[in-house]
Amino acid sequence: MLKLIIQRLLFSVITLTIVAIVVFAMTDLLPGDWATAYFGKWATEEGLAAMREEYGLNRPATERFAEWVGNALRGDFGDSLTRKKPVVELIRFRLRNSVLLGGLASLVTIPLATLLGITAGLRHDRAADAIISTGSIVGMSTPEFVIGTLLIWALSVGLGLFPSMTLGNPDAPIADLLPNVVMPTITLTIASTAYLLRMVRTITINVLTSEYVEMATLKGLPRARVVFRHALPNILLPTINIMALMLSGLLGGTFVVEVVFNYPGLGRALVDAVSFRDVPMVQAIALLWAVMYVFFNLGADLVTTFLDPRLRSLRG
């Protein structure tokens, strides 16, 4: 087990290193530089020269990359080009807001999708399966911005239950954000539940048609014992990695939902940073998302291996 943990940690470090290189290359090594992209058509030679000197853009790319990685490991991503404040200070509360939104959505999505997916799989080709599958297809086919717009029209404009968008500052207290987070949470829950329950349904059907479940059934074991003793553990284990991937995406925030509701999370911050050519903000948010994805997938892989003796024997 220790060997596996070391291997997975090493693989995670390699993955993050590759991501860091890609992020830096995409934002720093493309034609032109920060200064040219930031000033655009209003660029002057004096302004370009001053900015290149301030941010060290005249130095070799390898030197700047090494400095950027070293600073990032210390939690320093530099200053925002537009806000003139440390990037960490600007994204700290936005990260909190995205975690709040993603956490609330996950608390509803994961148990609901798991329950519906297993139910649909157990009732395969029956009325319950048809109803649940149809609902999941509708949810998967409906874009998040459409779901969000319909919720605004129904719950905000029509009934006046919730504000249509967030007008407060990113550093507002959580209590002030709660009324604004309800509709984004519902939107994320609908979209995420549709995808996750479909995957759980497929896994459930595959497990129920496997040889060991059929053998248990042929032995005359009660249906409940076959499901809960033999099928359910093998249904839940493969879904852990899927849930981890979905959870990392939800906690990282989503562009569309945060833009529709003007929610002050990481997704909205990244859209604004790209719009205003704020390269340090783009680099920090992109790398932060990568860290979250790697962290959750590493955790899910280790948990799955620990719970499944077959994987321990294969990997150990």
What is the domain range of residue 291?
90-315
CA-nearest of 90, 190, 74 to 137 is: 190
pTM: 0.82
Q: What pLDDT, on the 0 to 100 scale, is given for residue 30?
A: 59
The confidence score (pLDDT) of residue 40 equals 64
Note whether 226 and 216 are within 8 A (CB): yes
Q: What is the tens place of the pLDDT at every residue in 43-71?
A: 677 777 777 777 777 777 788 889 889 98
CATH assignment of the domain containing 221: 1.10.3720.10
- Torsions phi, psi of 15, nearest 5? -60, -45
Q: What is the pLDDT of residue 150?
A: 93
- 43, 185: one domain: no
199 vs 197: CA distance, rounded Å: 5
Same domain, 164 and 304: yes
Of the residues 73, 100, 122, the one at which a domain ends: 73
Q: What is the pLDDT of residue 276?
A: 80
Residue with tokens 């404009």: 157
> Is the same domain home to 27 and 148?
no
**Residue 81 domain-assigned (yes or no):** no
Task: Tell me, yes or no, whether 140 and 14 share the same domain.
Answer: no
In a shared domain, residues 189 and 276: yes
Query: 257 exposed, middle or buried (CB, 10 Å; 0-12, 13-18, 19+)?
Result: buried
Residues of the chain with pLDDT under 50: none
Domain count, the chain: 2
> What angle, 0 to 180 degrees and rounded to 10, lies between the N-to-C axes of helices 2-28 and 61-73?
130
Length of the chain measured in residues: 316
Are residue 61 and residue 147 in the same domain, yes or no? no
CA angle 16, 20, 21 (to 5 degrees): 120
pLDDT of residue 31: 56
* Residue with the two structure tokens 């080709």: 125
How many Cβ atoms sit within 10 Å of the Cβ of residue 114? Answer: 19
pLDDT given at position 226:
81
Considering the domain architecture, whether residues 96 and 66 belong to the same structural domain is answered as: no
* % of the chain beyond a pLDDT of 70: 90
Domain contains 80: no
pLDDT of 116: 94
Residue 247: per-residue pLDDT: 78
Dihedral over alpha carbons 73, 74, 80, 84 (to 10 degrees):
-170
